[in-house]
Amino acid sequence: MDETQVMDVAKMGAGIGAGIVAIGAGLGISKIGASANEGIARQPEAANDIKGNSIILAALIEGVSLFAVVVTLLIALG
């Protein structure tokens, strides 16, 4: 393989990686939302605590997914 083919494979891998990260983040946040709604339905008096915790967890997932997308972009451009 010459250098251009290696770069093409790296860019393809970075694109696949970014797609997997987006899917994983979507699945994680949807699981948090579903669990939070179920928890609020079961125990309405704890709604504020559940909402706060779910927002923090969603922010953590977004941070990790953003980091992964940046890494894949660095691979593609590097």
pLDDT band at 10; cut points 50, 70, 90: confident
pTM for the whole thing? 0.78
State the pLDDT at residue 8: 83
pLDDT band at residue 75 under the 50/70/90 scheme:
confident
Which position has the token pair 């593609």?
76
Could you report the per-residue pLDDT of 24-73, keeping only the tens digit for each?
A: 999 999 999 999 999 999 999 999 999 999 999 999 999 999 998 888 88
* Per-residue pLDDT at 76 exceeds 80: no
User: Two tokens at 24?
Assistant: 């994983």
How does DSSP assign the chain, residue by residue?
A: --HHHHHHHHHHHHHHHHHHHHHHHHHHHHHHHHHHHHHHHH-GGGHHHHHHHHHHHHHHHHHHHHHHHHHHHHHHH-
For residues 11 and 38, which has the higher predicted lDDT (pLDDT)? 38
